[in-house]
Structure 1
Amino acid sequence: MQEQDYDAELDARGLFCPEPVMMLHNRIVEISPGAVLKVVATDPSTTRDIPRFCQFLDHELVDSGEDGKEFVFYIRRGS
């Protein structure tokens, strides 16, 4: 995974399911459609939950990966 350009960031480190996805749901509506949100989390369940969140709510998961013990996601907000 390479560092991507992004418009906003959500720090969900130290939070556990379902908190990271709940925070993501609240944060994604604060950015414009087409903008990219970077999410950093430490809960391994986010590797399952965030892609599903994007799929169900029509957002694009631009990239994701693991950086040490952190999981990083780049999400482009859908319309």
Structure 2
Amino acid sequence: MSDHKERPGTIHKALDARGLVCPEPVMLLHRAVREVAAGEVIEMIATDPSTERDVPKFCLFLGHELVLEESEGEEYRYYIRKSG
């Protein structure tokens, strides 16, 4: 799941959802989105494979930009920019 985009330079909020399973990672992400300003970036690290499906759908449904998604081993990393 690697994209050829670059990681965003500034991370405004970091979420560690490792060890959590559906629906907890997306619930944490939903809370984090409410805590940052429009245009700011959230980085989320997860180990639940369902986040590969859930995080893109979350962004699409709520209009946020999934800047980058990547995986290494059993970790999934997402960079989400809050919509305006």
State if a TM-score over 0.5 links the two structures.
yes
Corresponding residue for residue 46 of structure 2: 41
TM-score, normalised by the number of residues in structure 2: 0.88
2 CA distance for matches of 1:11 and 1:4?
A: 17
Corresponding residue for residue 4 of structure 1: 8
2 CA distance for matches of 1:56 and 1:25?
A: 12
Q: Which runs of 5+ in 2 are unaligned?
A: none
Give secondary structure in 1 for the equivalent of 2:49.
Answer: coil
Check the 8 A contact 2:18/2:48 in 1, yes or no: yes
Q: Deviations over 1:26-53 (max 9, x none)?
A: 1111011000000000000000000000
Give secondary structure in 2 for the equivalent of 1:29.
Answer: helix
Q: Shift of the alpha carbon at 1:3?
A: 3.9
The amino acid that maps onto 2:27 is M
Q: Deviations over 1:39-68 (max 9, x none)?
A: 000000000000000000000000001022
Q: How does 1:1-79 map to 2 (within 5 A)?
A: 2-5=6-9, 6-79=11-84
2 CA distance for matches of 1:20 and 1:37?
A: 13
The amino acid that maps onto 1:4 is P
2 CA distance for matches of 1:67 and 1:4?
A: 18
> How many pairs were matched up?
79
Root-mean-square deviation (CA), in Å? 1.1
